[in-house]
């Protein structure tokens, strides 16, 4: 089972958008796909479920509750997984309450639990896509320990380039200390503006530094906002749109 985490400590670089749309591209390609939303903001959950995201139960908060309060009557993990309106695409929804659970989970050494949980789902899904909050905290660390692939969105901004190098070092450290299976599969260039000089130069510099920039870039498009508002991933929106084709092409160049 492919287990990918989309990670960048920087906020607003496109993690949730990319997680949901690549997961959707995978589902469209006939793979059985689970999106695991580890961000208390729940943006990926809302993107997939729309208004139903506010009431969906049980959610990740309940799942972590069970982890913290042992009970013989614990629900199996499968019960926390919900269908989405899209074929082959499932979600383990987030909830704002997980923000407060973090300290307890950390204090009780639950950092390897997510890895065990995903191992239980090995036969149910072909791919798991994990969306993470913009921080290097318990949730992101758990995800990096559980995953075998890491994708890093990059938004072509000078500040973010500096942070990128530090971030890749942290992922290397996590691989060395906790998870030999973890591989940085690539940097995803998002909101790329082909006509501007600076983004092109920055991407070339990353490539010259030997960083694994994926060959398919994602353009900036107002269609993304519409897609979020309608809670329909761009690959499932009607009409052939450039960005939908870009997500499918990006999915196709990912390592198997």
Ligand X SMILES: Nc1ncnc2c1ncn2[C@@H]1O[C@H](COP(=O)(O)OP(=O)(O)OP(=O)(O)O)[C@@H](O)[C@H]1O
Residue 16 structure tokens: 């949730």
DSSP state of 189: E
CA distances from 82 to 52, 114, 120, 224, 252 (A): 11, 18, 16, 24, 26
The span from the CA of 145 to the CA of 178, in Å, is 6
Residue 143 touching ligand X (CB under 6 A): no
Return the sign of the alpha-carbon dihedral for residues 115, 120, 126, 131: negative
* 96: contact with ligand X by CB under 6 A: no
Of 13-21, 82-90, 142-150, 165-173, which part binds ligand X (CB under 6 A)? 13-21
Which C-beta is closer to ligand X: that of 89 or that of 156? 156
Count of residues engaged in binding ligand X, rule: CB under 6 A: 19
Q: Which does 13 bind (CB under 5 to 8 A by kind): Mg ion, ligand X, none?
A: ligand X
Q: Residue 224, interface with ligand X (CB under 6 A)?
A: yes
17 touches ligand X by CB under 6 A? yes
Which is nearer to ligand X, 134 or 212 (by Cβ)? Answer: 134
Touching ligand X, residues 184-223 (CB under 6 A): 190-191, 218, 220-221
* Alpha-carbon span 58 to 40, nearest angstrom: 15
Does the bond joining 138 to the residue before it have cis omega, within 30 degrees of 0? no
> Rule CB under 6 A: is residue 66 a binding residue for ligand X?
no
Nearest distance in Å: CB 163, ligand X: 13
Distance, C-alpha 119 to centroid of its chain: 18
């Amino acid at each position: 089972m492919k287990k990918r985490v989309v990670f960048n400590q920087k906020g607003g670089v496109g993690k949730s958008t990319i997680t949901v749309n690549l997961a959707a591209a995978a589902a469209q390609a006939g793979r059985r796909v689970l999106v695991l939303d580890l961000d208390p903001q729940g943006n990926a959950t809302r993107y997939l479920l729309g208004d139903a995201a506010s009431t969906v139960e049980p959610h990740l908060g309940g799942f972590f509750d069970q982890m913290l309060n042992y009970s013989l009557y614990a629900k199996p993990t499968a019960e926390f997984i919900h269908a989405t309106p899209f074929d082959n695409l499932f979600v383990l929804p987030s909830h704002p309450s997980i923000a407060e659970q973090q300290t307890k989970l950390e204090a009780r050494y639950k950092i390897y639990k997510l890895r065990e949980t995903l191992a239980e789902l090995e036969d149910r899904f072909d791919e798991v896509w994990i969306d993470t909050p913009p921080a290097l905290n318990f949730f992101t660390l758990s995800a990096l320990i559980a995953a075998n692939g890491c994708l890093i969105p990059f938004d072509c901004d000078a500040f973010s380039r500096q942070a990128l190098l530090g971030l890749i070092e942290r992922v290397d450290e996590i691989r060395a200390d906790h998870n030999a299976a973890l591989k940085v599969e690539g940097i995803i260039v998002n909101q790329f503006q082909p006509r501007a000089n600076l983004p092109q130069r920055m991407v070339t510099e990353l490539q010259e530094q030997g960083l694994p920039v994926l060959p398919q870039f994602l353009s900036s498009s107002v269609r993304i906002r519409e897609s979020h508002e309608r809670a329909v991933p761009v690959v499932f929106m009607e009409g052939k749109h450039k960005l939908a084709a870009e997500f499918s092409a990006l999915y196709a160049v990912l390592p198997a």
